[in-house]
Amino acid sequence: MRHMIDTAKIESAFRQILEAIGEDPDREGVANTPRRVARMYEEIFSGMQMDPRELLDVSFTEYHDELILVKDIPVYSMCEHHFLPFYGWAHVAYIPKGGKVVGISKLARVVEAYARRPQLQERLTSQIADCIFQTLKPNGAGVIIQAEHMCMTMRGVKKPGSMTVTSAVRGIFETRAETRAELFALIQK
């Protein structure tokens, strides 16, 4: 899964993009832009170099078998269709089984690891839920992401403020309507 980001290739390609839109790539204001874009891509696509499951390897035993929810985790990603950002909040929940819990910061790190790659919001939501469900093996996992997509705000239909909401539920959140309802009610608060 480890991919190295080729910053030299990004610099070269971005220089070509500047030329293709009619910009002088040697003009003072943009002369260093290809290098800046390459460094930025190295940062915002750092999730390409990670296996988010490894973030959940460190768990501990605490006999808590009720819902654990981390709300309002900021999420920033790049839509793979137009390479424009989408951003918003992720809400991540799970119900531990057998006392296996994980530090809550690890859940935010899983969100970030999957978000820092070219993405679709729907896939991002499912990847986070699957990672938690398959790695921690809890009774249930649920992820809700609400985000604004710049491809809808800056171009196309030009509808700023439009929020896309996606959810992925696994285990007991999928099979028990009352448990799913509890999750959504807690997120609404």
pLDDT digits (tens, 9 = 90+) for 84-143: 999 999 999 999 998 889 999 999 999 999 999 999 999 999 999 999 999 999 999 999
Spatial separation of the C-alpha atoms in residues 49 and 117, rounded to whole Å: 9
User: What CATH number did the domain enclosing 143 receive?
Assistant: 3.30.1130.10
Same domain, 34 and 77: no
Same structural domain, 151 and 82: yes
Tell whether 51 is covered by a domain: no
Q: Which domain holds residue 76?
A: 56-188
The answer on 164 and 103 residing in a single domain is yes
Selected catalytic residue, list 19, 54, 62, 80: 80
Task: Tally the domains of the chain.
Answer: 2
Catalytic, out of 81, 112, 122, 131:
81
- For 146, counting Cβ atoms within 10 Å of its Cβ (0-12 exposed, 13-18 middle, 19+ buried), the class is middle
Beta strand 118-119 pairing with 85-95 = unpaired
Judgement on whether residues 80 and 129 belong to the same structural domain of the protein:
yes
Where residue 19 sits, what CATH number does that domain have? 1.10.286.10
* 19 carries an active-site annotation: no
Catalytic residue among 23, 42, 49, 82: 82
Statement: residue 189 has pLDDT above 90: no
Predicted TM-score of the model (pTM): 0.93
To the query of whether residue 131 is one of the catalytic residues in this protein, the response is no
Q: Is 91 noted as a catalytic residue in this protein?
A: no
Of 17, 15, 77, 70, the C-alpha closest to 46 is 77
pLDDT of residue 2: 57
Catalytic residue among 112, 119, 121, 182: 121
Q: Could you tell me if residue 50 is inside a domain?
A: no
